[in-house]
Structure 1
Amino acid sequence: MPWTNLLAAATDDCLAALLQQADQDWSRPAHALDWTCRQTLDHLALGLMGYTGLLIARPDDRYITLFASLDPQAPVPACLDGLRIAAALLTSTVRDTPAEARAWHP
């Protein structure tokens, strides 16, 4: 199975699971993290967009700062739509990038 199919399937599975919990208290800590569940969603958006940007730019010596965040006032289902968009951008970037390309990570 191509990586892009795996990435799309993982996105669908994860977002479906999160959507089932959309009515829960997202202000509570996320498992053993210091962050809340809601802050973790924002970190996921940042990570997806950051990796997309790094895979496009492909620096070999540094992290390129690219910030992406979710509207802190948006309801959780809308934030999950934002994550779906970020994952779709990463998926299309992976599809259009040579297999040997790598994105730098600290």
Structure 2
Amino acid sequence: MIGHRELRAALAETRRVLAPRLGRDWSVPAGPLEWNCRDTLAHLGHDLLGYAGQVTARPGDRYLPFDLTVRPEAGPAEVLDTALACGELLALALAAAEPGLRAWHWGPTDPSGFAAMGTAETLLHTHDIATGLALDWTPPPALCAAVLARLFPDAPPGDPAPVLLWCTGRAALPGRPRRASWTWRAALDE
């Protein structure tokens, strides 16, 4: 079952891939997204912190009313540190969470759902940024497989990294055009 260890592995991969490239132009679009690379990294921090809040507060019917604001003058190094710190907050919350915990994400979601979403956000937005920075990087297959197993139970068979990119509208697969819309299933059928 996916958990804090997989999230931490994804965060370590993000640091490994992006930290050496902080001197590049981060104002370029992040792959297929409308955001630039810097803003995509800030968005990643926002999502990871939001998930951490959900896991720790355990609301049953809503998201907590807070947002992460990254100051406009913050450069890529500061934004990377912020996103990774938010990811570590989620990892700590997941490590402390009992398996029976439920918190709201469009329904009751368990710790593995939040771990899968955090891992997916980290891998996918790292891929978006890597694409924008013209880096040849593919998310680690084992982490992609763990995300697919939890969030995309009806994913087609195949190499987990391209399948995850297809499931999230970032790439086509042989015989399957790129998706125009998609959703993942984090909430449990309880």
- Give the TM-score of the pair, scaled to structure 1: 0.87
| Displacement over 3 Å in runs of 4+ | none
Output the CA distance in 2 between the equivalents of 1:55 and 1:81.
21
| Equivalent position of 1:42 in the other structure | 42
Larger radius of gyration: 2
Deviations 1:51-97 (A, max 9, x none): 00011121221122221122321221121111121111111100111
Instruction: Report deviation, 1:15.
Output: 1.8
Output the CA distance in 2 between the equivalents of 1:11 and 1:21.
16
CA contact (8 A) 2:29 2:36 kept: yes
| Equivalent position of 2:72 in the other structure | 72
- Stretches of structure 1 that go unaligned for 5 or more consecutive residues are none
Q: Secondary structure at the match of 1:68?
A: coil
Residue identity over aligned pairs, in percent, reads: 36
CA contact (8 A) 2:29 2:35 kept: yes
Q: What is the root-mean-square deviation of aligned Cα atoms in Å?
A: 1.8
Paired residues in the alignment total 106
- Stretches of structure 2 that go unaligned for 5 or more consecutive residues are 107-190
Mapping 1:1-106, distance limit 5 Å: 3-106=3-106
- Give the TM-score of the pair, scaled to structure 2: 0.51
Amino acid at match of 2:58: R
User: Looking at both structures, which has the greater relative contact order when contacts are Cα pairs under 8 Å and sequence separation is at least 6?
Assistant: 1
